[in-house]
Chain A
Amino acid sequence: MAKLKGCGLGLRREFLQEVIPSTFKPDFWEVTPENWINMPYHHKEAFEQIVSNNKTIAHGLSLSIGSPTKPTKKFLKTIKSFLDRYNIEDYSEHISFSNFNGAQTYELLPLPMTKSMVNLLSDRIKYIEDFLGRSLILENATYYYVPDSNMSEVEFINELIHKSGVRILLDVNNVYVNSINHKYDAKKFIDDLDTSSVAYMHLAGHFDDDESGFLVDTHGMKVTKKVWDLYKYTLNKVKAPSMIERDNNIPPLDVMIKEYSKLKKIYRGIS
Chain B
Amino acid sequence: MSDIKTQKIFLDKVIEKTKAKKSEKKEIELYKELVHHRFFEVISNANPIFYSMIKKKRLQKIVTKFIQSGAKTDLIWKLPDEFRDFVKKNSKLFKDMSYIDDLLWFEWIEIKLFMKDYSSFKISFLNILEKYKISKNTKIKRLSYKVYEQEFTTKDEYFVLAYYDLDKEEVIYRDISAFMYEFLELIVDLNVKDSIKKISKKYKLDIKELKSILIPALEELCSLGVLIKNRKKDKLCLVQ
Stretch of A100-108, A154-162, A186-194 lying at the B interface: A100-108
Enumerate chain A interface residues (CB-CB to B < 8 A). Answer: 34, 37-42, 44, 62, 66-68, 72, 75, 78, 97, 100-107, 109-112, 114, 116-117, 120, 144-145, 147-148, 209, 212-214, 216
Residues B117 and A41 in contact, CB atoms below 8 Å apart = yes
The 14 sampled A-B contact pairs (Cβ below 8 Å) are: A38-B77, A41-B164, A41-B169, A42-B169, A66-B7, A78-B74, A105-B15, A105-B67, A109-B14, A112-B6, A116-B3, A144-B31, A145-B30, A212-B30
Stretch of B21-29, B190-198, B200-208, B231-239 lying at the A interface: B21-29
Enumerate chain B interface residues (CB-CB to A < 8 A). Answer: 1-4, 6-8, 10-11, 14-15, 24, 26-31, 33-35, 38-39, 67, 70-77, 114-119, 164, 166, 169
A102-B70, A105-B38 known; A145 vs B10 contact (CB < 8 Å): yes
A100-B8, A148-B6, A216-B30 known; A75 vs B14 contact (CB < 8 Å): no
Residues A214 and B30 in contact, CB atoms below 8 Å apart = yes
Q: Which chain B residue shows the least CB distance to A35?
A: B77
Assembled-state Cα–Cα distance A78/B73 (Å): 12
Determine chain B's interface SS by DSSP, over half rule.
Answer: helix
Residues A34 and B74 in contact, CB atoms below 8 Å apart = yes
- Please indicate the chain B residues that have their CB under 8 angstroms from the CB of A145 in the complex: 10, 24, 27-28, 30-31
Q: Nearest-CB distance from A103 to chain B (Å)?
A: 3
Q: Which chain B residue shows the least CB distance to A45?
A: B119
Q: Nearest-CB distance from A177 to chain B (Å)?
A: 12
- Please indicate the chain A residues that have their CB under 8 angstroms from the CB of B15 in the complex: 105
- Please indicate the chain A residues that have their CB under 8 angstroms from the CB of B35 in the complex: 105-107
Residues B6 and A38 in contact, CB atoms below 8 Å apart = no
Assembled-state Cα–Cα distance A105/B32 (Å): 10
Q: Which chain A residue shows the least CB distance to B116?
A: A41
Assembled-state Cα–Cα distance A245/B67 (Å): 27
- Smallest CB-CB A-B distances: 7 pairs: A103-B70, A145-B27, A62-B74, A148-B6, A106-B38, A42-B169, A38-B115
